[in-house]
Structure 1
Amino acid sequence: MISFEEAITTISTLSQHFETEYINLEDADNRILAEDIYADRDYPPFNRAAMDGYAIMLSDWESGLRKYAITEIIYAGQVSKQALTSGNCYKIMTGAATPKTANVIIRKEDTHEIDNEVTIAVETAKHLQNIATQGQDLKYQALILASPCKCTPQTISLLASVGKATLKVYKLPTVAVITTGDEVIAPSKPTASHQIRNSNQYLLKALLKKWNITPSLCEHVQDNKNLLTKAFKEAIKNQLTIINGGVSAGDADYVPAVLKSLGVEMVFHKVKIRPGKPLWIGKTPLGGIVFALPGNPLSCLTTFTIFVEDYLYKCFGYASRPVYRFPIQESRIKKHPLTEFFPVQISKSQQGLNLISFNGSGDITAGLNASGLALQPDLTEELKKEDIISFYPFNNSL
């Protein structure tokens, strides 16, 4: 049995960057960029009118001129055809390119126009007023996004603005999800008193979906060596295999032995944590990775969040999975020498973490209102109110 820190270090050594591919911008949501993005030109690419109004020369204003003849109307997407001379102005629309000779825009609401002449009714004007200058947002070749970077709708909008119609991203891995157990049945079926519904299969698929990953193989297998062997033989053809249940020390916990019979090399079995102690990790003959997670609901959620996500972050190019630091809002005592993870909720009013009451790792409600997991180190028997502790957000986001 290894420590939590040793387990994370070992996962780092197993992690290798996924291959890359090019995709269309339309398909980029939630994908991870595998290239740095630079500005293809200045932004704005010209002096841009920030509102509808009249563009004048500041020198005219400073000389006391308040009435101007309209030389030309400039709309967004058009280029001025006439030079601006003293005593004249452009009538200009929001977003239009402002000629360099015009260095002030007076908003429409502060003027009065009649017979192609406009009178300005403001007391002050300053250089570049109401003009977004060329390059003020981004300069040509400025680094905009550094890889790796998760594509969000806001990111996609920016990528479109800089002309990235196709993107280099990390490929999504092939993944198999196998849940096990004679006592586990599908949610659609009636239950006997000794049976439970297969919540973990749906949990794991939903957690993977946060990464845009859809398992290529997803099935439930009873605690039968022959059936497990058949299912695992297909599952380990994938880059990542996630097995749930059957990894403890019970008489029907066949998973480690069956994986060994298929040539899967055990990397480690059992970690000094609670919940999730029975975690099993191995390497397949084809170079894939197997995570065998314990079957209790909170144990499954915890081991995926802490270990599987750490692996995915690193394979998608990140140095590590994000871990945040927050003060805990009440004291907490543990009576064992293991590193413990427990569900917490972010308190927006107190800017800290609130404990969530639950009845052990088998409690199906344990993660319901939680924002993520907090960590209590193995040698820390008591956490005191306002202690700063590590926080791991659920669902690949904060």
Structure 2
Amino acid sequence: MISYAQALQQLLAAAPSSRAEQVAIGAAADRVLAAPVLSTQDLPPFDNAAMDGFALRAGGQPLAAGSILQVQGWQAAGDGAADGDAAQAWEIMTGARMPSGLDSVVPVEQIEVLDAVDGRPTRIRLQAAVKPGQHVRLRGQDVAQGETVLAAGATLDINAMTLLHALGVAAVQVQQQPQVAVISTGKELISDAGAVLQSGQIRDSNRPFLLSRLRAAGAEVVWNGVVSDDVAAFDAALDAALAAGARMVLSTGAVSQGRYDFIPDALRARGAEVLFHKVAIRPGKPLLFARLADGTLYFGLPGNPISAAVGLRFFAEPVLRHMLGLAEETALQLPLQADVRKPPGLRFHARAQVQADASGRLSVSVLAGQESFRLKTMLRANAWVVLEGDDDLAVAGSLVRVQGWGHREPVQLSLQEMA
């Protein structure tokens, strides 16, 4: 049995380096940038009105209330360039391009229409002074041409994608998604949610969890399936996963020391190198990590749901992070709300809830029901607490390591917790 630090060192040493590829912007959502994005244009691309009203020229000083102006023309969003007269106004809509020579907008609510033709104002009086530049969005005020808008390593979330669309970015350099497969093992597992369970059967909840979490972690799941406690069926599933392009495989179950825990021997029979089997952690101590003959990484996760979750979060996800070219994950240090018992000498991963008090100070509580078979505790958890050391007690008020539910997900508070 090795320590978590030793295991992580071996994991990262075996992990392949990140590789970049260019993809169209339509396929780039949630991908990780491999190169910075520089803007090739100004945003806004031209001076435009921030509200409906009348464009005019204030010059270097305010234009006084009571001023009367002729209306030279009308400008709607989407209209092209127009030449403005500094002594006259243009009726203008929000987002419309400012006529040349004009520098300010007076809202429609702050003018009096003196004359109109066919419902269009031709002469107006200002009912309030106009400050130079008011209610105008200037060219490049948001983003300047040549500006770096996103750095390498940024995740293209909805906000980043919106900006790239606005800038007309057609393609980006991103890190290749690690291709991953998931195999659930166990003759007791039933995948059909509508099936009636027979005596001794349970539903396969690990595989849906892992599939969802792997995608959130930045991986592409290329194959998944369920096999019984049978070496031939396992070999066939593993062959199918490799044929689908998997360069990382995660399985659940069959890695402990029971009669049906066949995976370690099955892997060795295929020429795999088992790099470690058992880590000084709880839950998930029987975890196995191997390298197949073709270099594919293999994670044998225990079958208990929370043990599998810990194996994914703290073993597979650091490897995925490395393969995505991301920097080492950072963690919060927060005070414990209450004493927590822990297994001495083992690194303990606990489902936890981060909360804020009335003053906004953050603290963390380890939730009741930490046994590795309990799923309901996950409903209240918004973070992981990691406790290390030889002591069997972490005392209230001590600072502990707190990490998000996934490596790309910051710790979040619900409105109820913040109240």
TM norm structure 1: 0.91
2:83, 2:101 within 8 Å by CA — same for their partners in 1?
no
Partner of 2:300: 292
Once residues 119 and 251 of structure 1 are traced to their aligned partners in structure 2, the CA distance between those partners, rounded to angstroms, is 92
Once residues 25 and 114 of structure 2 are traced to their aligned partners in structure 1, the CA distance between those partners, rounded to angstroms, is 48
Q: Aligned pair 1:208/2:214, yes or no?
A: yes
Partner of 1:356: 367
Q: Find the residue that maps to 1:375 and give its secondary structure.
A: strand
The alpha-carbon deviation at position 273 of structure 1 amounts to 0.9
2:219, 2:320 within 8 Å by CA — same for their partners in 1?
no
The residue type equivalent to 2:402 in the other structure is: F
Aligned residues: 396
Partner of 1:371: 382
2:65, 2:127 within 8 Å by CA — same for their partners in 1?
no
Partner of 2:236: 230
Deviations 1:273-309 (A, max 9, x none): 1111111111122221111111111100111111111
Q: Aligned pair 1:171/2:176, yes or no?
A: yes
Deviations 1:55-79 (A, max 9, x none): 2222474577611111222222224
In structure 2, relative to structure 1, the CA distance for the partners of 1:217 and 1:42 (3 Å cut) is closer
Runs of 5+ consecutive residues of structure 1 not aligned to the other structure: none
Partner of 1:53: 53
Counterpart of 2:126 (choices 120, 124, 129) is: 120
Q: Find the residue that maps to 2:379 and give its secondary structure.
A: coil
Once residues 372 and 235 of structure 1 are traced to their aligned partners in structure 2, the CA distance between those partners, rounded to angstroms, is 31
Partner of 1:157: 162
In structure 2, relative to structure 1, the CA distance for the partners of 1:230 and 1:61 (3 Å cut) is closer
The alpha-carbon deviation at position 142 of structure 1 amounts to 0.8
Once residues 80 and 103 of structure 1 are traced to their aligned partners in structure 2, the CA distance between those partners, rounded to angstroms, is 14
Q: Find the residue that maps to 1:258 and give its secondary structure.
A: helix
Deviations 1:91-137 (A, max 9, x none): 22211222453222211111112321111111x43221111222221
The residue type equivalent to 2:92 in the other structure is: I
Q: Aligned pair 1:147/2:147, yes or no?
A: no
Partner of 1:28: 28
Name whichever of 209-218 and 91-100 sits farther off: 209-218
Name whichever of 267-276 and 8-17 sits farther off: 8-17
Once residues 54 and 372 of structure 1 are traced to their aligned partners in structure 2, the CA distance between those partners, rounded to angstroms, is 53
Partner of 1:70: 71
Once residues 242 and 55 of structure 1 are traced to their aligned partners in structure 2, the CA distance between those partners, rounded to angstroms, is 63
The alpha-carbon deviation at position 158 of structure 1 amounts to 1.0
The alpha-carbon deviation at position 170 of structure 1 amounts to 2.5
Once residues 314 and 31 of structure 2 are traced to their aligned partners in structure 1, the CA distance between those partners, rounded to angstroms, is 21
In structure 2, relative to structure 1, the CA distance for the partners of 1:61 and 1:394 (3 Å cut) is closer
Once residues 83 and 184 of structure 2 are traced to their aligned partners in structure 1, the CA distance between those partners, rounded to angstroms, is 73
TM norm structure 2: 0.86
Q: Find the residue that maps to 2:35 and give its secondary structure.
A: coil
Name whichever of 135-144 and 27-36 sits farther off: 27-36
1:72, 1:82 within 8 Å by CA — same for their partners in 2?
no
Name whichever of 21-30 and 127-136 sits farther off: 21-30
Q: Aligned pair 1:336/2:340, yes or no?
A: no
Once residues 365 and 184 of structure 2 are traced to their aligned partners in structure 1, the CA distance between those partners, rounded to angstroms, is 32
Once residues 62 and 253 of structure 2 are traced to their aligned partners in structure 1, the CA distance between those partners, rounded to angstroms, is 78
Partner of 1:275: 283
Deviations 1:224-261 (A, max 9, x none): 33333333344345201111111112232111111111
Deviations 1:124-182 (A, max 9, x none): 43221111222221111111111222222222211111111223323333322111123
In structure 2, relative to structure 1, the CA distance for the partners of 1:267 and 1:85 (3 Å cut) is same
2:44, 2:142 within 8 Å by CA — same for their partners in 1?
yes
RMSD, aligned α-carbons: 2.4
In structure 2, relative to structure 1, the CA distance for the partners of 1:134 and 1:224 (3 Å cut) is same
In structure 2, relative to structure 1, the CA distance for the partners of 1:104 and 1:233 (3 Å cut) is closer
The residue type equivalent to 2:224 in the other structure is: C
Q: In the TM superposition, what are the counterparts of 1:233-244 in structure 2 within 5 Å?
A: 233-236=239-242, 238-244=246-252
In structure 2, relative to structure 1, the CA distance for the partners of 1:234 and 1:112 (3 Å cut) is same
In structure 2, relative to structure 1, the CA distance for the partners of 1:382 and 1:48 (3 Å cut) is farther
Partner of 2:333: 325
2:25, 2:170 within 8 Å by CA — same for their partners in 1?
yes
In structure 2, relative to structure 1, the CA distance for the partners of 1:305 and 1:58 (3 Å cut) is same
The residue type equivalent to 1:136 in the other structure is: Q
Counterpart of 2:318 (choices 310, 319, 322) is: 310
Q: Aligned pair 1:256/2:264, yes or no?
A: yes
The residue type equivalent to 2:352 in the other structure is: V
Q: Find the residue that maps to 1:164 and give its secondary structure.
A: coil
Partner of 2:42: 42
Runs of 5+ consecutive residues of structure 2 not aligned to the other structure: 116-121, 411-419
Partner of 1:389: 400
1:71, 1:82 within 8 Å by CA — same for their partners in 2?
no
Q: Find the residue that maps to 2:109 and give its secondary structure.
A: helix
What percentage of residue pairs aligned between the two structures are identical? 26
The alpha-carbon deviation at position 359 of structure 1 amounts to 4.9
